[in-house]
Amino acid sequence: MDTNQSHTREDMMAITTIQEALERIAGSDPAKVQGIDAVILFDLSGDDGGKWTLTVKDGTVKLEEGETAAAAMTLSMSAADFLAMTQGELNPMAAFMQGKLKVAGDMSLAMKLQSILA
């Protein structure tokens, strides 16, 4: 996947699976993750849910299925809400305020990640 590609609204609307959504996040513009050095666990419940680890280091993003004990932050939500968020239909901050998104760990990291989640 071309990590320098920007994602248009049409690209986001084509996302239909959790794997596609996570791959889009992993392929984010390196400028959006510059200065972030962290391991993030996505814990998604419901149909198509599961656990995925996203490692952000030196402007690169690596995605692996499964969990790690080294996560600085865990984002927990339903798979359906996660898809809505990555398609731009659910604002990450609104999801958090409504209790649809739970954050465990480094809250400042969650704020930095907003640009690649929506």
pLDDT 10s digits, 42-73? 999 998 899 999 998 888 888 899 998 889 99
Radius of gyration in angstroms for the set of CA atoms belonging to the chain, rounded to a whole number: 13
The CATH code of domain 9-117 reads 3.30.1050.10
d(CA 110, CA 102): 10
| pTM for this prediction | 0.80
Q: Please name which of 116, 105, 98 lies closest in space to residue 43, comparing C-alpha atoms.
A: 105
d(CA 43, CA 53): 9
The token pair that represents 36 in the structure block: 């972030």
Which residue ranges make up each domain of the chain?
Answer: 9-117
Amino acid at 17: T
pLDDT tens digits for range 57-113: 888 888 899 998 889 999 999 999 999 998 889 999 999 999 999 999 999 888 888
Hunting for tokens 């932050």 — which residue is that? 73
